[in-house]
A and B are shown apart, each in its own frame.
Chain A
Amino acid sequence: MPPVSLKRLTWIFVRVGNLTFGGGDPTMAALQSELVVTRRWLSAEQYALIYALARITPGTNLVAFSAAAAWQILGWLAAMLAVVAMTVPPSVAVVLLTSGYQAFNSNPLAMAAIGGTLAAASGMMATAAWQLLRPEVRVGRRLRAAVIFLASLGASLGFSMSPIAVLGIAAVVGMVWRAPE
């Protein structure tokens, strides 16, 4: 097991954060392999706690996860470097992809290709919704999941209720309406 250092730890976040596609879950799985299995800089229990807390931390789960994992291993400076490593280089890629979209806006062939990716974005968002819902679609929880899902969809689409209000009401409902484990 290599000894932990700020340089080694930051490099892992740079490498995993900028070479793993598919969003937070695959990237956190790759970090688990690097930090827990290969190097043992985090225990499985620490990983599980950080993963759970990242889910309830406002913002992007993966960035919060990286901050907490690095903080747990080497403190505040490591947390700040991990957050920078996980956000700045991919942000440059996002800007390049976005500026490419603007540059090709007047080219019919490029727009046809971009139109295909924009259609795919709807499918991707539906996938994201399903991945959020899926853990709650199981025996004993389906009624609660259906009621809250449809109520939030209706409140947003039918009554233009603010997303923050919808989420706040859902949290209060969750405290009262508990599903079996």
Chain B
Amino acid sequence: MNILLIYLLLLKATATSFSGLTSIPVVRHDFVENRHVLTDRQLNAAVTAGRTAPGANGLYIVSVGYFVAGIPGACAGCLAVMTPAFLIIPMLRYLGARAAQPAVKSAIQCVMIAASGLVVSTTVPLARDALISPLAIGIAVGSFLFLVLTRKDTIWVVLGSAAAGLLGRLL
């Protein structure tokens, strides 16, 4: 797959989302459903890699690029994460005051709610691929509760779930 095309598709995903993981539906639509260059399992692994590494969760895009085209794909993914960030500077200069206007504020709130629904809709097919045993379901539920209730680092969820998966296999 052409690197420029990978960059543009990943840029489309990052530039049309408003937080790290809300770009997943667009990525899945373009790379899994339309072009068949990525599997749901790889997308799941990419999300895990993005959330395991330090920094922004949105860096899972780098892993997607790597799965599709190796190191050049990862570079395209990294650039796709960087590019939209600079839009904030003209916004900070000229649009900062308008963010407090009731209509704009309300529109942003509703976009965040819709983004939540989109993330859930993307979680469904990914979960169908990953949650194939009672242990896996237990890990998913436990991870959710751990993160919501304790606000601890995601690294503990990743380490704990890997240990649970390993123990499940050994026992």
Q: Which residues of A contact B (CB under 8 A)?
A: 17-24, 26-27, 49-50, 52-68, 71-72, 76, 79, 83-84, 86-91, 93-95, 97-99, 101, 108-109, 112-130, 132-133, 135-136, 144-145, 148-153, 156-157, 162-164, 166-167, 169-175, 177-179
**A109 contacts which chain B residues (CB < 8 A)?**
166, 169-170
The interface residues of chain B, by DSSP majority, are classed as helix
Tell me whether B118 and A163 are in contact (CB under 8 A): yes
**B21 contacts which chain A residues (CB < 8 A)?**
125, 128
| Nearest residue, chain B, Cβ from A71 | B89
In B123-171, the 8 Å CB interface with A consists of: 123-124, 126-127, 129-131, 135-137, 139-148, 152-155, 157-158, 160-166, 168-170
Q: Pick from A17, A88, A116, A132: contact of B116, CB below 8 A.
A: A132
**B124 contacts which chain A residues (CB < 8 A)?**
157
Instruction: Please count how many residues in chain B sit with their CB below 8 Å of the partner chain's CB atoms.
Output: 109
- Interface: B1 (CB within 8 A): no
Q: Pick from B88, B115, B136: contact of A68, CB below 8 A.
A: B88
- Interface: B99 (CB within 8 A): yes
- Interface: B6 (CB within 8 A): no
**B62 contacts which chain A residues (CB < 8 A)?**
91, 94-95
Given contacts A98-B66, A118-B136, A152-B118, 6 further A-B pairs with CB under 8 A are A90-B53, A117-B48, A121-B130, A127-B143, A152-B121, A175-B103
A108 vs chain B, min Cβ distance (A): 7
Tell me whether A162 and B136 are in contact (CB under 8 A): no
Q: Which residues of B contact A (CB under 8 A)?
A: 14-22, 24-26, 29, 41, 44-60, 62-63, 66-67, 71, 74, 77-78, 81-89, 91-92, 95-96, 99, 102-104, 106-124, 126-127, 129-131, 135-137, 139-148, 152-155, 157-158, 160-166, 168-170
| Nearest residue, chain A, Cβ from B11 | A59
Tell me whether B20 and A61 are in contact (CB under 8 A): yes
Tell me whether B108 and A120 are in contact (CB under 8 A): no
Tell me whether A179 and B109 are in contact (CB under 8 A): yes
**B57 contacts which chain A residues (CB < 8 A)?**
23-24, 60, 128
Tell me whether B55 and A27 are in contact (CB under 8 A): yes
B120 vs chain A, min Cβ distance (A): 5
Tell me whether B78 and A153 are in contact (CB under 8 A): no
Bound complex: CA of A52 vs CA of B164, how far in Å?
Answer: 38
A125 vs chain B, min Cβ distance (A): 4
Tell me whether A114 and B165 are in contact (CB under 8 A): yes
Q: Please list 17 pairs of residues, one from A and one from B, whose beta carbons are closer than 8 Å in the complex, sorted by A's number.
A: A55-B112, A56-B99, A71-B92, A83-B82, A90-B55, A93-B54, A94-B53, A112-B165, A120-B157, A121-B130, A152-B114, A153-B121, A167-B118, A171-B110, A173-B110, A177-B106, A178-B102
Bound complex: CA of A22 vs CA of B155, how far in Å?
Answer: 7
Tell me whether A116 and B161 are in contact (CB under 8 A): yes
Tell me whether B103 and A112 are in contact (CB under 8 A): no
Tell me whether A58 and B53 are in contact (CB under 8 A): no
Bound complex: CA of A153 vs CA of B153, how far in Å?
Answer: 28
Tell me whether A63 and B85 are in contact (CB under 8 A): yes
**A169 contacts which chain B residues (CB < 8 A)?**
114
Known: A112-B168, A124-B47. A91 touches B54 (CB 8 A): no
Tell me whether A24 and B20 are in contact (CB under 8 A): yes
